[in-house]
A and B are shown apart, each in its own frame.
Chain A
Amino acid sequence: MGGAKVTKGRWRAKEPSKVHCTERYEVAYVIGFIEATISGILMGGLYGFIAVSLSLIFGVAKIVNFAHGALFMVAMFLVYWILVLLKVDPYLSSLIAAGFLFFFGYFFQRLFIEPILRREKETAPLTVILLTSGLMMIIENVALLLFGADYRTVKTGYTGKVWEIAGLFIAQPRMIGFVLSLVLILLLELYLRKTNLGRAIRATSQDREAARLMGIDDYRVYKITFGVGGTMLGFAAAFLVPFYFVHPAVGELFVLKSFVIVVLGGLGSITGAFLAGIIVGIIESLGAQFINSALVESLIFIIFIGCLVVKPTGLLGKQRE
């Protein structure tokens, strides 16, 4: 009881000084939190965008692709070298990266994963996990051999440029990346809903066996899905390069987060993954304003587990029989 009294006394003693400076601080705090939210949304949008491509692969083809980060790194290096050697702007070369990554993804699936799928005849063979982790190591080490362990950054006209809006600083490349991601996500969603191939992808995602019985060539759908996933990854890489660094291990920073986001958003749901990305971004940014950043990572996982307990299919995932 004595202890409680002391705490109460201290609290009272603090009161007057608090009242004195509340007003001035309140404004600064509110601005700080708005700033943190905006930055969380911008970065979260990119997380979401990276996760969308994983969602296609992981959600549709049920392939646990640990090489996702390595593919992302390949795309970043591609954009980097195009910029350094040919002086092509990253937003323009994103088209090249996306095209290249489509074929990379397509043949990645064709050469490495399809043989296993054909042999094992299971929906989610465990061997694939080992295979993709192995491929990740090979790709990363080849990159290390070719490019060394240097951190590389690029200089573009908008690197380090900010828009100042009512006392808030918004980095230009982050904003541009976010807006373009949003547009591409909408296009992808349209593609999946309105085209035959898109419908085939969604059908295979829902039930591979049934889709095959309906005459869908599921292996072809997998290859194309992997390719489209690669395309999205190529765009994401190009949007990140202007304000990030390129390094053979850069993919590792994003890959675990992407898996969390995909599951949180609901397997195979594009919009879900994007939203979940933004949510993770906001938790990360806003959470760090209240607690130590070292703890924020666990906060993300606590919320993640909490969400799964309440809704095991993820935010926008559909219940399956």
Chain B
Amino acid sequence: MKTIGIILLTFFCVFYYGLGLTYAQQEVKVGVLIPLSGGLAVIGENLQMAHDFAVKEINEAGGIKSLNGAKIKLIYADTRGDSKIGMSEAERLILREGVVAIMGAFQSSVSYTSTEVSEKYQVPYLVPNSLMDAITERGLKYTFRVERKGSLWAKDQIDFIADMGKATGKSARTIGVVYESTDMGQAIAKGIRKWAPEKGLTIGLDEGYPPKTSDMTPVVLKMKRANLDVVILNSYTSDAILLIRTIADQRVNPIAFLGSSSGYSDPSFIKEVGKLAEYFFDLTEWTTDLKHSPLVQQKNAAYKKWNKDNRDFNGGAAFCYASTYILYEALEKAASYDPKKIRDAFATIKITKGPAMMIPWTPIEFDAEGQAKGARMLVVQYRDGQRRSVWPAEIASNKPVWPVPKWEERK
């Protein structure tokens, strides 16, 4: 009796294991690290929706063909916006869940630490939205990043200013950079200092203000006195609101104002400052009115119809959506569940078509560091409360207003 029992048990175990294997053959597990609780939960949920939409499309279209139609299964892990939790969650995804690849983690600090975990276990990690340069500058073999490096944002801003000068004949000579003196603001300012001289621009004002500044008037008065042609701003939401109101009060009239995303792209910024934001330029990674591919409008419309809040893609979500497709292409190419082979597919991939082309550059490929080649930023201008793309000219759908009207002449 006992022997039969043991034989049966062994048989059952083998069968169960086999069942598990066959079951695993039908889906590809991919981990997604994003903040789903805490202060950034709203942003995390928005990105989650974009990932889900892409996976729904991929699976409905027959899954990964080179893997006999295997379906992608996303396993979400909440980083709570904490880099340490990001690391432990990455470990859990790899060891417990057995994911073949990871995407995430929105915040630079979390991506920075969690990519090290994936490197250790040799699982590819695709970073859609973190901008910290160092993420791809540590010689990691398994990390790939789609977003433009943060230090190059300033280069794009300077290029934009120079291009506008050429296009309109009204070129800027003196620029100023005003920023909240935290990591991101200082990174932008550092970039401006580096790139401005290359386009013949002089920096007339280089002003960092502390976080939690209660009054912006001193900074704005300094800005006014410096007589600048273009003011580059980098702020969070509350200081962005205070700055723009004070700028309007004090009638500071340069050729243009140029934001660096962050606070100036926050929906509550435009909601609260309303008309004051009109003509304001802002750097961004993506908008819904790009015309480099008809996919932008098609997919955005489909997404808007699918999600329950009728939400448009924002930059972060569009990059998450496209990144899911980059992962899909890599899986097709690798034709394997082996993370190492998937990593090699990422390293040699060259995407020129498919929904990944939501991203405003072709082809999508990664350099030896794992950084997306050709990544670039765009500039939008607020018109009638909408963010309209104005630069680079070949993919933008609107003409920029440059110089912007003086405050006294606005209604």
Contact = CB atoms under 8 A, between A and B. Distances in A.
Interface of A: 28-29, 32, 35-36, 39-40, 43, 47, 149-153, 155, 160, 162, 169, 171, 243-245, 247, 252-254, 257, 281, 284-289, 292-294, 296-297
B212 A253 contact: yes
Contacts of A296: 210, 218
Given A149-B39, A245-B272, A293-B209, A160 B249 contact: yes
Interface residues of B, number: 33
Given A286-B218, A293-B213, 20 more contacts: A36-B218, A36-B221, A39-B215, A39-B221, A150-B268, A151-B272, A152-B272, A155-B274, A160-B248, A171-B246, A245-B238, A245-B241, A253-B214, A285-B215, A285-B218, A287-B218, A288-B219, A293-B208, A293-B210, A297-B210
B217 to A, nearest CB: 4
B109 interface: no
A284 B249 CA distance: 19
Given A245-B272, A284-B215, A294 B249 contact: no
Contacts of B217: 36, 39-40, 43, 285
Contacts of B224: 32
B231 to A, nearest CB: 15
A245 B208 CA distance: 21
A151 B241 contact: yes
A35 B221 contact: yes
B175 to A, nearest CB: 17
The 3 A-B residue pairs with the shortest CB-CB distance in the complex, in nearest-first order: A288-B218, A293-B209, A39-B217
Nearest to B217: A39
A153 B276 CA distance: 13
Contact of B268 (A43, A151, A289): A151
A208 to B, nearest CB: 33
A155 B248 CA distance: 15
Nearest to A173: B249
Contacts of A47: 214
B163 interface: no
A36 B215 CA distance: 12
B218 A169 contact: no
A153 B237 CA distance: 12
B350 interface: no
Contacts of B222: 288-289, 293
Contact of A32 (B208, B214, B221, B272): B221
B194 interface: no
Given A151-B238, A289-B225, A294 B210 contact: yes
A169 B209 CA distance: 22
11 contacts: A39-B215, A43-B214, A162-B249, A162-B250, A245-B238, A253-B212, A284-B215, A285-B215, A293-B219, A293-B222, A297-B210
Contacts of A243: 245
B225 A28 contact: yes
Contacts of A151: 237-238, 241, 268, 272
Contact of A293 (B207, B225, B250): B207
B255 interface: no
Residue from B219, B225, B248, B273 having most chain A Cβ neighbours under 10 A? B225
A160 B214 contact: no
A51 to B, nearest CB: 12
A286 B225 CA distance: 13
B400 to A, nearest CB: 25
B212 A252 contact: yes
Given A160-B245, A162-B249, A293-B213, A39 B272 contact: no
Residue from B208, B214, B224 having most chain A Cβ neighbours under 10 A? B214
Given A151-B268, A160-B248, A160-B249, A247 B218 contact: no
B242 A294 contact: no
A35 B241 CA distance: 21
Contacts of B46: none
B92 interface: no
B119 to A, nearest CB: 35
A284 B222 CA distance: 12
Interface in B217-267: 217-219, 221-222, 224-225, 237-238, 241-242, 245-246, 248-251
A36 B181 CA distance: 22
Interface string B376-407: 00000000000000000000000000000000
A296 B215 CA distance: 12
A296 to B, nearest CB: 7
A292 B208 contact: yes
B17 to A, nearest CB: 48
B262 to A, nearest CB: 14
Contacts of B210: 293-294, 296-297
Contacts of A155: 274
A286 B238 CA distance: 23
A90 B214 CA distance: 20
B206 to A, nearest CB: 8
Contacts of B218: 36, 39-40, 284-289, 293, 296
